[in-house]
Amino acid sequence: MRSQFQSSKLVTALLLGLTVVAGWAQSDFQGAMHPVPFNEAPIEYEKQKSSGPISRLEARIASGETKLKYDPVLGWLPALLEELGVSHKSQMLVFSKTSLQRSYISPRNPRALYFNDEMYIGWIPGAPVMEISEVDPLLGTVFYDLDNLDRDRPRFKQNTQCLNCHSSARSMGVPGHVLRSIGTDEAGEPDQMTAASEVNHRTPLADRWAGWYVTGSAGEQTHRGNCAGPDAVAAKERNRTSLDDLVNLEGYLRKDSDMVAMLVHDHQTHMHNFITRLNFETRIMMHRYGHIRYLRHQVDAFLRYLTFAEETELAGPVVGTSGFAEEFADRGPKDSTGRSLRDLDLKSRLFQYPCSYVIYTPSFDAIPEVMREHVLERLHAILSGEDDTEAYQRISPRAKEAALEILRETKKNLPDYWRVTSN
């Protein structure tokens, strides 16, 4: 399989000027991060029309059902967040110059990002456009820009230029999210001499958040946030509750860059890429061979991520500043005893139960049936303890059982064998 993609991988790498980081993400799809040919059949990414939240919002605007209000300082941002159900408490601030609008980003004027289960929204004070991505169940991530100088009405433009950065090995070879921790100089310019880390829930805290601001506390644990320039590991910057002295906060909705929101975002972006990749690879395999037997390792890696089997351990309590944690946990769905896959732990791990809430999203349900059924069967075996391979021994039997019980009550359309208790 690899050789078929060797040349496109090389060309893409050259075109994008990417450096392949040795040994990176070996455990994701066994290192097979080659670009998936997503513009060919059966995916044909650029030929399809998205059916995600932005298209639905455009239809509501066109029919007069909704009208967005333009704010003199924040443009379309507040109305857009409200309309799409994205909480301002999810605000995270990133100051590394890593965007299409890099010249507007600096440590004094960072980019703000907001997200919910399906949407990611980027805002830079003073920049002409907002950068938006949505999760489409069939297409993976779809990118838009929104002209923020045009006050008449919000015009969303699908933008394939974004794929230059958002579809490479760094986004698992599919249109998706890139997330890095990269040291910068005082102006926010990425410093190629310092190590960059790809960030997901496996990344140790000590390697995370270079190039980002972070508010909250992680106790004695170190991270790389809040510092630019040579002293980027200064311990005093670790547990900040205010960014007043660093950022010109006037052009933002809030004053914080919540640590818990960051942890959840770090998990979620990679989970979305994983789902897109599994969806695309399944469709391609079915199209070419009519079966999914060659995807065994991909499924293994997917399940390890879905169940947090390899997540980095927290060495002590993590607390945010915006109230994101409480709001996020409260969104449910909850079972009859009030438990939810969104219940955060934040002491030794991110969540209390070993299955990602992203399992409730339309994208998970849009994984082709042949693969979805297979994944659910394997997940059932893991959570019921029947699959006792080493990868899952780290997760406590009680936590597995709880996740199984929660899913049984809250996840729709589970196969019948999920309903029957084993004892």
For residue 167, which amino acid is it? Answer: S
Residues 12 and 35 sit within 8 Å (Cβ to Cβ): yes
- Minimum distance, C-beta of residue 352 to ligand HEC, in the bound complex (Å): 25
- Minimum distance, C-beta of residue 215 to ligand HEC, in the bound complex (Å): 17
How far, in Å, CA of 271 to CA of 275, rounded? 6
Q: With contacts defined by CB under 6 A, name the span among 36-44, 75-83, 163-171, 239-247 that binds ligand HEC.
A: 163-171
The residue from 142, 162, 303, 403 that contacts ligand HEC (CB under 6 A) is 162
The residue from 269, 312, 340, 363 that contacts ligand HEC (CB under 6 A) is 269
Contacts 24+ apart (CB under 8 A), 311-314: 311/201, 311/202, 311/267, 311/349, 311/350, 312/201, 312/202, 312/203, 312/204, 312/205, 313/348, 313/349, 314/205, 314/218, 314/221, 314/345, 314/346, 314/347, 314/348, 314/349, 314/350
The residue from 12, 50, 90, 98 that contacts ligand HEC (CB under 6 A) is 98
How far, in Å, CA of 317 to CA of 163, rounded? 37
For residue 405, which amino acid is it? Answer: E
Could you report how far apart the first and last alpha carbons of the chain are, in Å? 43
Q: With contacts defined by CB under 6 A, name the span among 57-65, 94-102, 285-293, 327-335 that binds ligand HEC.
A: 94-102
CB-facing half-sphere around the CA of 23: CA atoms within 13 A = 2
The residue from 53, 75, 122, 216 that contacts ligand HEC (CB under 6 A) is 122
Residues 23 and 264 sit within 8 Å (Cβ to Cβ): no
Assess 143 for contact with ligand HEC (CB under 6 A). Answer: yes
- Minimum distance, C-beta of residue 354 to ligand HEC, in the bound complex (Å): 24
- Minimum distance, C-beta of residue 160 to ligand HEC, in the bound complex (Å): 9
Residues 195-214 that bind ligand HEC (CB under 6 A): 211
- Minimum distance, C-beta of residue 188 to ligand HEC, in the bound complex (Å): 10
CB-facing half-sphere around the CA of 74: CA atoms within 13 A = 18
Assess 133 for contact with ligand HEC (CB under 6 A). Answer: yes
With CA atoms as reference, report the closest residue to 145 among 163, 122, 164, 166. 122
With CA atoms as reference, report the closest residue to 326 among 343, 339, 351, 350. 343
How far, in Å, CA of 211 to CA of 226, rounded? 7
Assess 165 for contact with ligand HEC (CB under 6 A). Answer: yes
- Minimum distance, C-beta of residue 397 to ligand HEC, in the bound complex (Å): 35
Structure tokens that stand for 24 in this block: 């990176």
- Minimum distance, C-beta of residue 21 to ligand HEC, in the bound complex (Å): 14
The residue from 25, 100, 127, 138 that contacts ligand HEC (CB under 6 A) is 100
Assess 179 for contact with ligand HEC (CB under 6 A). Answer: yes
The residue from 25, 54, 57, 113 that contacts ligand HEC (CB under 6 A) is 113
- Minimum distance, C-beta of residue 93 to ligand HEC, in the bound complex (Å): 10
For ligand HEC, which is the closer residue by CB, 166 or 378? 166
Binding site for ligand HEC (CB under 6 A): 94, 96, 98-100, 113, 120, 122, 131-133, 143-145, 159, 161-162, 164-166, 177-180, 211, 269
